[in-house]
Amino acid sequence: MKNLSVKVKKEALVKVALFYPNRLKIAAANLGYLTIYDILNARADTLCELFAMDEKYVSCSYNSGRNIGEFDIIAISMSFEMDIFNLVRFFKLNGIPPYARDRNRFHPLIVGGGAYFTLNPETVSDFFDVILLGEGEEAVGELIENFIRGRRKDEIKDILSEIEGFYIPDRYEIEYDGVYIKSFQGTPKRVRKRLVTNIDKYIPSSLSDTPISHFKNTLLVEVSRGCPYSCAFCSTPSLYYPYRYRELNNVVSKVNEHSDYKKVGFIGSAISDYPYLDKLIAQTNVKTITLSSFRINRVDEEIILALKKRGLKTITIASEVGNERMWKKIGKGISRKMVFDAIDTLNRCEIERIKIYFIIGFHFETDDDVYDITKLLNNIADIYSGHITASVNIFIPKPQSILQWAPLADKNLIRRRVAILRKNTDPSVQIDMLSYKTAVLETIFSRGNRGIADYIVKSENDNIFN
């Protein structure tokens, strides 16, 4: 199991505060955050400690209690739009000016990385000295080496600006014409995101053996990265392109070297497409195995039964919409027959609960399409013997997705379609809904430009969203 106590490294030339803008128990399940932690602490020249939004850990590290002021670099890992408010709150609580232009040479270098930044860094770019676009396993070492070489902020930024994946926001001047970019000038003209070509070199796993984790006594292991499909609403295929998976022996070894875990969770956007999934289940020596989700046309009876023997009680699948026209429109590549074949399989395997994801609010969606979701759910409820949860999200146009320029649906339209769902769906089906307010904020933070930063800071200063 991981040991989170950090020894004082007398030879360490750089101290890194690794901050996650949410509770530490949530950070402890974020494999990107934890991988960077491991990579940095494996270096003799670097000391890395964990910070999060918990009151105890927002200014003093989880590992040793060192104050944030003792660190040379504050590296911030962020995956979700709604954590932006915590980001600004973190700066405020530690007396750090949120805008990079207001900080001086005595302030630490503020570096951002993670999925949120790679999709669209502009909303928060004014807060950062350096932003890493793409995957950080290899780039983080280059950051440290060049920090040691440069020391002065401007020197460091000059060096990093020439390395693939590093975006230096203050090296670019952007002029807006209404909502459009009129001029974007800087060097280099295009920053290419970093990509790890050999993901077997790094196999992220979690800190879940500790009391801080959201998944206690569970080892989380990334099996694959990216997605081989092209659903129109999803940014994952672009974000982590190309789809890559780890070799079976490497994943099995990673799990079996931690024999004290009772449970393992295999992580991947398209985990059911992992070509060695049956062998992986058979060869891992743990009592319980969970998977993040199953693609509907990949629900296989042998694999489901093997997982059931390992304690699986709930399966998550994603229908997204309710009819053939809409499945074709969003590029889902499934059919009604595939849905009911999957439900029949889960019934035969006596899986206790299923969770089904849906999305409403596409600009090409009609009320009839939403009625078809209710009909689909009711048909499933008629034949499925277990508990059904329908998790309904509002369509949010994500950057780098096929539908990135589509509009967010009007509030009254969403209200009407939610009413259709609730009124017409069998009462045995539990319906969980994303709030419209959250959808609006996620859309703004997903697609916003640099002008949004002022509103974020003002909302925190005025306690608008507390």
- Exposed, middle or buried by CB within 10 Å (0-12, 13-18, 19+), for 80? middle
- C-alpha to C-alpha distance for 156 and 70, rounded to whole angstroms: 19
| Vertex 380: Cα angle to 374 and 385 (nearest 5) | 135
Give domain limits for the chain: 14-196, 217-434
- Residues with Cβ within 8 Å of residue 198, at least 6 apart in sequence: none
Q: Can you give the pTM of this predicted structure? A: 0.93
C-beta atoms surrounding 248 within 10 Å: 16
- C-alpha to C-alpha distance for 357 and 269, rounded to whole angstroms: 14
- C-alpha to C-alpha distance for 188 and 172, rounded to whole angstroms: 9
pLDDT at site 1:
37
DSSP state of 83: G
Q: Which CATH superfamily is domain 14-196 in?
A: Cobalamin-binding domain (3.40.50.280)
3-state secondary structure 337-385: HHHHHHHHHHHHCCCCEEEEEEEECCCCCCHHHHHHHHHHHHHHHHHCC
DSSP state of 127: G
Residue 28 tokens, joined = 């402890």
* 418-427 exposure pattern, b = at least 16 Cβ within 10 A, e = fewer: bebbeeebee
- C-alpha to C-alpha distance for 53 and 32, rounded to whole angstroms: 17
Residue 361 tokens, joined = 């609010």
**Fold that domain 217-434 belongs to in CATH:** TIM Barrel (3.20.20)
C-beta atoms surrounding 464 within 10 Å: 10
In order along its 466 residues, the chain shows pLDDT tens digits of 355 555 567 678 999 999 999 999 999 889 999 999 999 999 999 999 999 999 999 999 999 999 999 999 999 999 999 999 999 999 999 999 999 999 999 999 999 999 999 999 999 999 999 999 999 999 999 999 999 987 789 999 999 999 999 999 999 988 887 667 766 777 788 899 999 989 999 887 775 445 555 556 788 899 999 999 999 999 999 999 999 999 999 999 999 888 788 889 999 989 999 999 999 999 998 889 999 899 999 999 999 999 999 999 999 999 999 999 999 999 999 999 999 999 999 999 999 999 999 999 999 999 999 999 999 999 999 999 999 999 999 999 999 999 999 999 999 999 999 999 999 999 999 999 999 999 999 999 999 999 999 999 998 887 765 5
- C-alpha to C-alpha distance for 1 and 198, rounded to whole angstroms: 25
CA contacts within 13 A on the Cβ side of 154: 3
- C-alpha to C-alpha distance for 298 and 342, rounded to whole angstroms: 8
- C-alpha to C-alpha distance for 297 and 282, rounded to whole angstroms: 22
Helix, strand or coil, per DSSP, at residue 312: coil
